[in-house]
Amino acid sequence: MTKIERFEIFDRALFWKEKKILIVGDMHLGYEEYLNERGWSFPRTQLETSLEIFENIFRETGKVKKIIFLGDMKHYFAGVLKQEFREFYSVVEMCRKNLEKNGEIVIIKGNHDNILEPILARENFDFIRLVDSIIVGDVLFIHGAKKDFVKLEIFDSKIKLVVIGHFHPAIAIERDTKKEKYKCFLFGKSKELKKNMIIVPSFFPLVEGTDILHRSLLEDRIDISRFKVFILSGEETLDFGQINKLKR
């Protein structure tokens, strides 16, 4: 089992075994409906695939005390699509069944979640908290959009590690004449924040993400060139070393 800091990697999620907390990156529920409305034809398989991934993860972790979603649960900015309602309830039900008694789901508001409250208001989700960020021990969990890096808690001296989503890190690898892209985790010390950081890949299956070899700054301020890359390849997680060495 590959570990980053105190976390174990389970597929595209992190598991904090000591505290029984599962950390999940951007879901972007409703993405297929959003594309279909714009004339793109995609089979709606994202939910089924995501639920299968969750099943596999919970088979390994067992029931957990807390599930932290790192933001962008939904995709559509301007409202709530029907697919977003349906998929949200399916994901929440899957997670609820795998919570311990009195466990909770924490959703950190992402930049795509500006209208998430109507979804939560339709049911009695007393086990769900919607927050801007959450601190557990010396770890700060935030979404990672530009506004998050000016929050006061990120500069609190007790915070040793910052875990974020938002950036959908991936890496493109050429093999013979073929070029393939893989989701990846990033880990390193931010000289700007003076904190260790973990950047979690997106959870949703349709898009692998943004090739980190073509960007060295996050939100024009966080230098990731010396961060380590952990690539998800099938059932394996591969340590590829530092980003700056991969660019040579």
The predicted-structure confidence for 21-57, as pLDDT tens digits, reads as follows 999 999 888 766 655 565 555 556 788 899 999 999 9
Rounded to whole angstroms, how far apart are CA atoms 34 and 79? 11
Answer whether 47's CB lies under 8 Å from 207's CB: no
Least confident of 30-39, 122-131, 147-156, 237-246: 30-39
Rounded to whole angstroms, how far apart are CA atoms 168 and 134? 20
Rounded to whole angstroms, how far apart are CA atoms 45 and 19? 32
- Is the pLDDT at 248 greater than 80? The verdict is no
Least confident of 13-27, 89-103, 210-224: 210-224
DSSP assignments along 208-232, one per residue: --EEGGG-SEETTTEE-TT-EEEEE
Mean pLDDT to the nearest integer, 193-222: 89
* pTM of the entire predicted model: 0.93
Distances (CA, A) of 35 to 75, 114, 204: 10, 19, 14
Tell me the two tokens of residue 213: 């070899």
